Structure 1
Amino acid sequence: MDHKILQTTRELIDEVGYLALTVDQVAARAGVGKAAIYRRYASKAEMAFVATVHEQQLPPPVRTGSLHGDLLALVRAFHVRMATPAARQLAPALISEIAVNPELDTRFQDTFLAAEQAAFADIVDQAVARGELAGPVDPAMAHLLLLGSLASALYVLNLPVDDAMVSDLATAAAAGISALADRHHSDPGGAAGKPVDRGAD
């Protein structure tokens, strides 16, 4: 049933666009009840996000043996889905809905962003274990450096992001993460390795 709901959502976004999409349309074409959809997804925005951009569980990480290689593999995998026409339609609408819907914001933070940051934590831990990084780096900051930059390029600046740019983003993120690790290692009391305080003005 999950596959049918998501496949139908993708088809309808291609046909009518995200703004005209309704849960009723998805339920009717998929042959399921609306209640079955809402048991899985809190809103149309979440359902469409899962269908087009980001499933709730990420695939196992690619182990390349280097920080840059791991970051490049990760950002390439995200770029494939984030750069689709459907994702470009959905992202601004999702951001707008999250801004006014605290429940969706919390769900988004606790599922999708938590999974992404866990992937970055794993990449950083592996790099520290290999001796590539002088010490740990806040995964939220690593996430911001790479996927935050990709999302900005795609959804805010509307740049034609190709694989060369994706590779440059990975290179820049690896350099930034290394610099933060060096700074934190040389100044253990500094802010570089501490979690990002999202409550500060």
Structure 2
Amino acid sequence: MSARKQALNQGGRPRDSRVDDAIASAVVELLMEVGYARLTMGGVAARAGVGKAAIYRRHATKQEMIFDVLTSGQFLAVAPNHGSLRADLAAVLAEIADSMASPPPGMIPGLLADVHADPDLRDRFDAKYLGAQRRTLAEILDRAVARGELATHPDPAILNALLVGPVFAWLYLLSESPDQLPALTSALLDATLSLAGSGPPAAPGDSGSEGAT
């Protein structure tokens, strides 16, 4: 086990929340100023006014530090409950769009590349990030089935991909403007509901299949 990992696993006096806050603020500021690739543990320590040892007691690597700061208690941690599948998924999509458009350019692709290169970090990412998303989506789907909006329960992992993938592609593969995200998410919501078996709400006066021959 590395010295960094040992430091993380050692007991000792309770951590000072002021140091945690200083490190988190320094990470966010430096990501905005120098970007993901040029951010260093030493730079964060200097900006936060702490020793590097204080950082290594909390985060084993630069990637873990950024991951912990940016995902702590955020992004689909709580399932919205607005009374319908459409309203709940609209809230989810708004949160996805905001969380992906907010970080500095290049931060999310760089972090994800490093996460997938490190099995330990990938496991943490799956448990803390993807796991939380899919639990949230499963809760939303459970309520939709209970309300009779869905006849079957779609796979939360597939729904997760349907919601997150296009937003990621729009911002980071196609380099399109975040200003167009509302239009994208509106179209994405209709497509997702259709695939899930719950189409757009009927227009006033629409009698559905009544009268069909």
Q: How does the TM-score come out when normalised to structure 2? A: 0.74
- Distance change in 2, residues 1:60/1:85 (3 Å): closer
- Count residues with an aligned counterpart: 177
Q: How far is the alpha carbon of 1:120 from its aligned partner?
A: 0.7
Q: How far is the alpha carbon of 1:140 from its aligned partner?
A: 0.5
Q: How far is the alpha carbon of 1:51 from its aligned partner?
A: 3.9
Query: 1:198: which partner in 2?
Result: none
Q: How far is the alpha carbon of 1:131 from its aligned partner?
A: 0.6
- Check the 8 A contact 1:150/1:169 in 2, yes or no: no
Q: Which amino acid aligns with 1:163?
A: P
Q: Is residue 178 of structure 2 the alignment partner of residue 152 of structure 1?
A: no
Query: 2:184: which partner in 1?
Result: 165
- Check the 8 A contact 1:146/1:173 in 2, yes or no: yes
Rg comparison, structure with higher value:
2
Q: How far is the alpha carbon of 1:29 from its aligned partner?
A: 1.7
Query: 1:120: which partner in 2?
Result: 137
- Check the 8 A contact 1:145/1:176 in 2, yes or no: no
Distance between the aligned counterparts of 1:109 and 1:75, measured in 2?
Answer: 20
Q: Is residue 127 of structure 2 the alignment partner of residue 110 of structure 1?
A: yes
> CA-to-partner distance for each residue in 1:123-177, whole Å, 9 max, x for gaps?
1111111110102111101100101221122122222242121222222222222
Structure 1 gaps, min length 5? 180-201
Mapping of residues 171-182 of structure 1, within 5 Å: 171-178=190-197
Query: 2:205: which partner in 1?
Result: none
Given candidates 123, 137, 140, the residue that maps to 2:154 is 137
Structure 2 gaps, min length 5? 1-16, 199-213
- Distance change in 2, residues 1:127/1:36 (3 Å): farther
Query: 2:4: which partner in 1?
Result: none
Q: How does the TM-score come out when normalised to structure 1? A: 0.78
- Distance change in 2, residues 1:142/1:8 (3 Å): same
Distance between the aligned counterparts of 1:113 and 1:50, measured in 2?
Answer: 14
> CA-to-partner distance for each residue in 1:75-113, whole Å, 9 max, x for gaps?
111211211251x31122122212321111111111111
Mapping of residues 29-44 of structure 1, within 5 Å: 29-44=47-62
Q: How far is the alpha carbon of 1:39 from its aligned partner?
A: 4.5
Query: 2:36: which partner in 1?
Result: 18
Q: Which amino acid aligns with 2:37?
A: L
Distance between the aligned counterparts of 2:27 and 2:147, measured in 1?
Answer: 42
- Check the 8 A contact 2:27/2:44 in 1, yes or no: yes
